[in-house]
Amino acid sequence: MNRINMLGMLFVWILLSTAAFSGPIPSQKSSAKKNQTMEKFVIAKLFIKTSATADFHHALEALAVVTRKEPGCISYTWYAEPLEAGVFMLIEHYRDKAGLQHHFRQTYLADFIKKMDTWKIKDPEVHFLSAEPDALK
């Protein structure tokens, strides 16, 4: 794992663990409400056939452009792992659960996922994380 990737993942881990363990444990009602307003992250590692990386790259950039315009999207970043051919990392950040659900309902995402079946060499590793934006205030 390269240093930039490790630092990025460390930052996300610190941010999320600090948010998760700061303050008293909320009641169930409060917890359900906070879950709706907590920011959502998707971190995915995609494994693509080296022969398909050019097509994948173009399709992923097109997906990123339209995703960034979604009302709930805060950021949508991706990069190719420099030391692993055919490996790409996606880091998605949404305002809340509704923003993430909106993204999953888009037809352009469904089309991209269908194409992934022809490009991938194995299933992606996907992690869903939540962060309370005001946890450190």
pLDDT tens-digit map of 4-57: 544 454 444 444 444 444 444 444 445 555 555 799 999 999 999 999 999 999
Q: Is residue 16 part of a domain?
A: no
Structure tokens at 35: 């879950």
Which domain does 114 fall in, by range? 39-131
Confidence of residue 67 (pLDDT cuts 50, 70, 90): very high
Q: Is residue 27 part of a domain?
A: no
Angle subtended by helix axes 107-119 and 53-67, to nearest 10: 160
CATH of the domain at 105: 3.30.70.100
Cβ distance 72 to 41 under 8 Å? no
Q: Which residue has the higher pLDDT, 11 or 111?
A: 111
Q: Is residue 32 part of a domain?
A: no
Q: Is residue 90 part of a domain?
A: yes
**What's the structural domain count of the chain?**
1
Q: Is residue 99 part of a domain?
A: yes
Structure tokens at 80: 């190719």
Q: Is residue 2 part of a domain?
A: no
Q: How far apart, in Å, are the Cα atoms of 15 and each of 10, 46, 114, 135?
A: 8, 24, 33, 9
Q: How far apart, in Å, are the Cα atoms of 8 and each of 13, 23, 85?
A: 9, 25, 20
Q: Is residue 69 part of a domain?
A: yes
Q: Is residue 19 part of a domain?
A: no
